[in-house]
A and B are shown apart, each in its own frame.
Chain A
Amino acid sequence: MIAIFLLFLSFSFKTFAKFDADISGNLEGQGRHSWNNEDAKKDLMQDWDDEDFYLIYGNLDGKVEINGSRLEANVFARHSKSDLYENDYIAPQIFTFPNKLVARDVFKLQHKKEVQDSRTELILNKLYYEWDYEEHRFMVGRIYINYGLGEIFNPINPFNQPTGLTAISQVAQGNDGFNFTFFVSDKYTVDFFLLGDKSVNGYEGQIDRTLWVHGEYQFSDKLQFDYVIGEDQKRDKLGAQVRYSFTEAMVFMQTLFQTDYVNNEESHPLWDMMIGYDQQIMNKWHIRAEGGYQKLNRYANLNTLSERFLPTEYFIAIANQYEIHPLVKITGTFVNDVKSGFTYFIARNTFDLGHGTEAEIFGYIPVAKGDKFSYPAQKLVTTDIGMALRTFF
């Protein structure tokens, strides 16, 4: 219906000054077989051995552009099916990360249906109006906020969780509010955000406010500095990113400090840091390394898994991507929790089948267990082998 409406608009307004409409999207089906972690059975009441998990998800993205303004929307739909849902086991939350498709949510523009062995979600995770005026850009509605160089851990951006380690691609989290971007000069850009968030479950009439500034300054040809400052999720936050480019590679660092809850709820300060390295070794081989620290939030709920894909405190991740053929890419990523010894390996092999379609074989394997004092959530990580088929239109 939306498609027909946009096509009609496209046809009707072609004669006006500058009008453009576009519809695009993707659809993906996945199946995996999963083996449980022995420690999860004993310690975390995840008493299952091995199970199948099926997932189908897709985006339908529409855009209408008239002169300097634009309206964009994206509908994300996801249906997953597994016997693991019957006893509310936690593993499906990892398989469907990110579970929260709207990071800062004021409007309940989503539909969720839970039956015994399946979950269905239909979410409008992007719907905004954008207006460009000279060196300024205004956006209002449900917007994507995407900045920061971290692909595995990106602490300076709490509005969009990195999906570098997940089996889901082509997804971004929406955020409800207002964004004003000021392109001060070729080298300096500042983003101001005013966002709201109310908990979908247990909402008590209070909307949490986010006031956030992100600045990006290019000091020189080689050096760029980003800063973030603001109040978000009842904490004051301050952070920065520095990027230095060599001829052969790029190095970057991020840090984010978060105060206690400003409303005196029980909490403690948090801080994260990461350092990253990125290099194109040769024309078909790309390497990325990220290492960092995330202070363990003692008050976080083990069962939420909403903030990060992998439960690690200290980590080193190395991702290699090699193109063995224009049709075939192979990616291998090792993630190690330095403190606990927990090590996780992710392998992906992607085949381009032509006509906008590709297939992927993937494996998620915890190759070394963490010690007994490790992050308990590490015990939830399963061994999985699966296949995906995706198409773009």
Chain B
Amino acid sequence: MFKQFFRKDIVFCLALGANANNATEWSKFIDREMRGDRSHAEIMMTIETPNWSRTLEIESDVEGKKQALSTINSPAKEKGIRTLRIENNMWNYFPKLKRKVAVSSSMLLASWMGSDFTNEDILKASSMAEDYEHKFVPNQKIEGTEYRVIENTAKSEAKVMWPKIVTYASPVDCLPRQYRYYDKQEKLKRVLYLDDVKTFDGHKLPTKWVMQPEDNAKKKTTIIYKNMKFNSSFKPNHFSQKNLTDY
């Protein structure tokens, strides 16, 4: 069974090639595909409860693990609010009041605009490939589909929110279909479902992300990647205080 599965990996996950049986290489492959070296994304986020939903439109620019800039384009109340992260420093900018505020890096833990995503998720402050150690655990079949399962454990020096994340990856395209996030007590706290794989600038990635908190089954947050550019380069001072306040 495992041999058969391994062969499938080699056939379909061409970019991963001979490293398909190495959990770390697999995680690096996912990071390369989904993050790239830099990216510009246009995102639609919908926060849903049974009686209510709210949609935000966001642009997000990310360069490596160190720099990120996000801008909210709608709704009206939050329009123009920007967040800049340079390494461990973060600033929010509120253009209507011309107010730039340095925020504690503990804000990376904070819920992003009432959603089930955190600032860390939106600003891509951590990297699964770099901040975690990886190992395969036995494959699992969920609703008739078999997944390769990687257990990612945070490195001791890594500044990350989740000590353990389990990746459920498709053996067909090697991309994740689920991330399960566990707290320090090994309790499952939330599950991120990924679907609808599309190709942007030669990078394949799931474009529909649904975050489901474990303690509230009635609530979820869906992110749709409307557009993604991996090849565009940013101007030299793109991730700067000047550009942050230029809105």
Contact = CB atoms under 8 A, between A and B. Distances in A.
Given A135-B242, A137-B242, A172-B98, A356 B105 contact: no
B142 to A, nearest CB: 27
Given A24-B76, A221-B87, A279-B104, A323 B114 contact: yes
Nearest to A147: B100
B240 A280 contact: no
B107 interface: yes
Interface string B54-89: 100000000000000000000111011000001111
A137 B99 CA distance: 16
Given A183-B242, A249-B104, A356-B76, A144 B159 contact: no
A247 B159 contact: yes
A123 interface: no
Interface residues of A, number: 48
Chain A binding surface SS class: strand
B52 interface: yes
Nearest to A188: B241
A218 B89 contact: yes
Contacts of B159: 247
A224 interface: yes
Given A245-B105, A247-B105, A250-B103, A183 B240 contact: yes
A278 B92 CA distance: 14
A51 to B, nearest CB: 31
B15 interface: no
A146 B106 contact: no
A358 B118 CA distance: 23
B81 to A, nearest CB: 12
Contacts of A147: 100
Interface string B98-141: 11111111111111001100100000000000000000000000
A132 B246 contact: yes
Contact of A170 (B97, B114, B219): B97
A354 B89 contact: no
A392 B106 contact: no
B49 interface: yes
Given A24-B79, A146-B99, A183-B242, A323 B111 contact: yes
B96 interface: yes
A393 to B, nearest CB: 5
B184 to A, nearest CB: 13
A86 interface: no
A258 to B, nearest CB: 24
B183 to A, nearest CB: 11
Contact of B77 (A144, A286, A392): A392
A249 B106 CA distance: 6
B114 A326 contact: yes
Interface in A204-249: 218, 221-222, 224, 243, 245-249
A326 B115 contact: yes
Contacts of B241: 183, 186, 189
A286 B119 CA distance: 14
B115 A170 contact: no
Interface in B26-48: 47
Interface of A: 24, 26, 59, 61, 74, 132, 135, 137, 143-147, 149, 170-172, 183, 186, 189, 218, 221-222, 224, 243, 245-250, 278-280, 282-284, 286, 323, 325-327, 352, 354, 356, 358, 392-393
Question: 5 shortest A-B CB distances, which residue pairs?
Answer: A250-B104, A326-B114, A392-B77, A144-B98, A146-B99
